[in-house]
Copies of this chain bind each other. A is one copy, B any other.
C-alpha cells in the first residue's frame, strides 16, 4: 500500500514545485485579485496545468493558504519550549514571537496572512473558509503550551493567552500599516513589563 491513501491527493513532485512558485508569486501580488493566466505566465506554466494539478482555482487557493499556514506553524513550533523541554513562560514566548512578527523579511507573508484573515471573515464559504478561526486556535494552542502547567489550566491563564494574542495581532496590524517598528515595539515591550508584573507565577498574594 502506498504511504498515504487516506489523503485526498498525495502531492506530486510537479505539484509541490508549482505550488512553491505560485506561493512566491502570491507573496508579491496578494491573493485578492489573483488570476490564473497572469500567475501561470509568471511561473512558467499554463492555466491548463494548474487546473490539472489543483482541480479548481479554489483548490489552488486552498493549497496556497495551507502553504502559508505551514510557514506560520513552523515559526510557532520554534517558540514552544526551551532546550530542556520545559515551558518557557508566556512573556518570553511573546518576546520571541514579536521578534519574528516585526522582522522585515516576514512582511509579505504577514500581509498575505492579514488578507486571508479578513477575507475569511467576509466570505465564510469557499476556499477561505475558517482561515481566521483556525489561526486563532493555532496561536492560542501554542501560547498555552508556553505557559507553566499551573497557569495553563487556570481561568486566568486562558485570559492571559487571549490577551497576549490580541496584543500581538494588534501590534502586527499597526506595524503593517505604518511601518513604525520602533513605536510599536516599544508598546509591546511595555505590555511585556505589565504582564511580568502580574505574572501569576511570581505574584503570590
Contacts and interface: CB of A to CB of B under 8 A. Distances in A.
Interface stretch (A12-20, A35-43, A84-92, A110-118): A110-118
Interface in A5-49: 30-33
Chain copies in the assembly? 2
A157 to B, nearest CB: 11
A117 B111 CA distance: 10
Interface stretch (A61-69, A74-82, A159-167): A159-167
Q: Is the interface of A mostly helix, strand, loop or mixed?
A: helix
B160 A123 contact: no
A53 interface: no
17 contacts: A33-B123, A111-B121, A115-B118, A115-B119, A115-B121, A118-B118, A120-B177, A121-B177, A156-B190, A159-B190, A162-B171, A162-B186, A163-B187, A163-B190, A166-B184, A170-B171, A194-B195
